[in-house]
Structure 1
């Protein structure tokens, strides 16, 4: 059985957005527009921190993620196998 994970409202919104667009690369601009309802300018570190916190809560080995993947220079994607 799975375990309960406590997410902040922003983590939850970010995870839901990624799940709705699973297996697709989401640019940081797209993430910022959807989750923070703002332009990307100045949010780079904020997005990285939220991704890191989600990985710590969801990944078995957050340093070697299998689900929340970084697309270098592009953004992130939530990988869900079919």
Structure 2
């Protein structure tokens, strides 16, 4: 299972803290937070530590996101803002 949040200025605090905690408490193993930084998308990837039920950072991706878990995926992040 994967939860993805796209951060807006209005939701930044909630997405970075409250939702991160709530998803961890719910046992969701993967959490990605997408933010716009200097006009480009940046994806913060977290993986759940089962025993502590807290997320550990697993990477920050710019340009291209390649992950083998929770499924093998590659995304050209630069196309996200262009809508292509």
| Higher CA-based Rg | 2
- RCO higher in 1 or 2 (8 Å CA, sep ≥ 6)? 1
TM-score by length of 2: 0.32
Greater fraction helix = 1
TM-score by length of 1: 0.32
